[in-house]
Chains A and B, each alone.
Chain A
Amino acid sequence: MRAFIVLVQKEFLQIRRNSFLPKLIVVFPIMIMLLMPLIMTMDVRNVNVAVVDLDRSTTSHRIASHIEASEYLTLAQTTAEYSLSIEALEQGEVDVIVQIPANFERDMMIATPKRISITANAVNATKGGMGMQYIVQTIARTLSELRGEKSPSKLSELVTIENRYNSTLNYRHYMIPALMIILFILICGFLPALSIVGEKESGTIEQINVTPLSRLTFTLAKLLPYWIIGLFVVTVAMLVARLAYGLIPVGSVGAIYLGAILFIFTISGLSLTIANFSETMQQTMFVMFFFIMIFMLMSGLLTPIDSMPLWAQKFTTILPPRYYIEILRSVYLKGTSIVELWINFVALGIFAVIFNLLAAFTYKKQV
């Protein structure tokens, strides 16, 4: 026990004496939680639209003015020639072209009109797709308005829309839990590994290896400070989310902390295991990055797991962040209880035990 206490003391002293670690631990969570939600947004704005108006009627004018008034769309040009706007599309000045055929208004009154054609630059698939959708919605609204002026029932009264749990469909509320996980991975994943490999590079680990200190004691003493730092980071992250973005967990904070503890155990255990197999900082960093890429891109942090191919969905069951992101999002947005999420907690618990035992047993004192 005495050995454990002096070792933990040593780790804290070393972190405190490091010229930049303490700053990083405080500034990093605040920066990421404050700035990234503003930047990481999937909302498509500023879609530049060209309207090729061959009709020149009240209807076509109204469509154009609705496009202009839209929060997401910008009316970049109105021409009477398709070739002009295609040129603009090629030059990147325009993202979507809306062509309203001649006699559209007249035909609408008497018969089936020629179709309005929409051409989108889909190089940026998200922007093209979303821009297209916004335009279809805008046109549909215009047309139903026109129709509504002639018939008593309005379309907007026929359909009601409600987004449950993230009522404003705020993409930030979806991203903030993911950012918290990225923070854990960076701080509790990288720092313990670098600390161990640092001891290998400076040779101090040899002086430890020649003592009767048990592998488990050494490993736990190495990790404990980072667990505490991790809990500090989750607290800061939750505070920033609340103060800056008004995001308050609907469910219990206890569930978030329990998940955080299990997730931090897991990721730091993985980190030490990697360090045990590496001799240099470069090796460690490179292998850590490999895992982090997979964690970030495949665990449902940024894109929904449900839209992945089936084999990838199966693969995600062995990725620890997948379970914690589910806990975070459900607790934050839906208020799901620990009991309902038990399977996620159990999965994280199993990972935590496996990785930490692996870390303790892959640490070789004698080679």
Chain B
Amino acid sequence: MSDIVISVRDLTKCFGNFTAVDRISFDVRKGEIFGFLGANGAGKTTAMRMLCGLSYPTSGSGSVAGFDVMREGELIKRHIGYMSQRFSLYNDLTVWENMRLFAGIYGLSAKQTEERATELLNRLNFSSERNTLVGSLPLGWKQKLSFVIATIHRPEVVFLDEPTGGVDPVTRRQFWEMIYEAAEGGTTIFVTTHYMDEAEYCTRVSIMVDGEVRALDTPFRLKQQFAAESMDEVFRVLARGAKRGG
């Protein structure tokens, strides 16, 4: 069982009387691409924020990269990368300055930063944009850059919160190629999305409705289970009963 990277048991988050995340439990294995699906307001982002050490769980337990989500949030942060739903790199800094900043924060030396940044920029075919202000990049490029920066310190797990929202199909395709590449390198990917074609790319998928995990399996078996032809259908069957969001 040593290859389990994320393990969650009865994790709950309440805001006052509202239970945003209601006793969810699951395990994610090393190198998996774990799709975390759910309608708007189902509690995906809240759950993810708890796993990243941005938010304290109300109850339940969980561990990420071997550290407890309740008490060892700061240790978790050394081993994960996070890409927020909202673009959150510095628009008034250049591509290179953003990379240098986050590499430095994660403790890479000046030399390591230079090597890593050059390597990543080359892989992205992005070397010519090294000194471009991030604010002036098109959205698709911004999202790719966010992903690259979230993985600059070679984390064990990367959390991606709707990384391809608003991105064109070609760039989406490229983005998923990057995800695959990272997963092949042994990085675990924890990703939320609203695109059901993307759900098909995941190793396993969980679907959240009203704060609870209602289904969890490989896309193939979920389709079997719900006698559906596509993940889109599976999602609609489950989300139909949702009381909130939508």
Contact segment of A9-17, A52-60, A177-185: A9-17
Contact segment of B3-11, B90-98, B136-144: B90-98
Q: Is A367 within 8 A of B84, CB to CB? A: no
Q: Is B93 within 8 A of A367, CB to CB? A: no
Judge if B204 is at the interface, Cβ distance under 8 Å. Answer: no
- Cβ of B132 to closest chain A Cβ, rounded Å: 13
Judge if B196 is at the interface, Cβ distance under 8 Å. Answer: no
Quick one: CB contact mask for A189-225 with B, threshold 8 Å, 1 for yes? 0000000000000111011111111000000000000
Q: Is A202 within 8 A of B53, CB to CB? A: no
The CA-CA distance from A17 to B97 in the complex, in Å, is 13
Q: Is B89 within 8 A of A207, CB to CB? A: yes
Judge if B77 is at the interface, Cβ distance under 8 Å. Answer: yes
- Cβ of B105 to closest chain A Cβ, rounded Å: 5
Judge if A18 is at the interface, Cβ distance under 8 Å. Answer: yes
Q: Which of B54, B78, B106 contacts A365 (CB 8 A)?
A: B54
Residues of A contacting B53 in the complex (Cβ-Cβ under 8 angstroms): 210, 365-366
A17/B56 contact (C-beta < 8 A), A2-B110, A10-B97 known: no
Quick one: CB contact mask for A347-367 with B, threshold 8 Å, 1 for yes? 000000000000000000111
Nearest neighbor of A16 in chain B, beta-carbon distance = B92
Residues of B contacting A204 in the complex (Cβ-Cβ under 8 angstroms): 88-90
Count of chain A residues with a beta carbon within 8 Å of a chain B beta carbon: 25
- Cβ of A213 to closest chain B Cβ, rounded Å: 5
Nearest neighbor of B84 in chain A, beta-carbon distance = A206
Q: Is A2 within 8 A of B109, CB to CB? A: yes
Q: Which of B55, B89, B92, B104 contacts A6 (CB 8 A)?
A: B104
Q: Is B105 within 8 A of A213, CB to CB? A: yes
Judge if A243 is at the interface, Cβ distance under 8 Å. Answer: no
Quick one: CB contact mask for A211-241 with B, threshold 8 Å, 1 for yes? 1110000000000000000000000000000
Can you spell out 25 A-B residue pairs with CB atoms less than 8 angstroms apart? A2-B109, A6-B100, A6-B101, A7-B105, A9-B100, A10-B93, A10-B97, A18-B92, A202-B88, A203-B84, A203-B86, A203-B87, A204-B89, A206-B84, A206-B88, A207-B84, A207-B88, A210-B53, A211-B102, A211-B105, A212-B74, A213-B105, A365-B53, A366-B53, A367-B54
User: Which residue numbers of A lie inside 8 Å of B, CB to CB?
Assistant: 2-3, 5-7, 9-10, 13-14, 17-18, 202-204, 206-213, 365-367
Sort A-B residue pairs by CB-CB distance and give the 8 closest, nearest first.
Answer: A6-B104, A210-B82, A207-B88, A212-B77, A203-B88, A203-B86, A212-B78, A17-B92
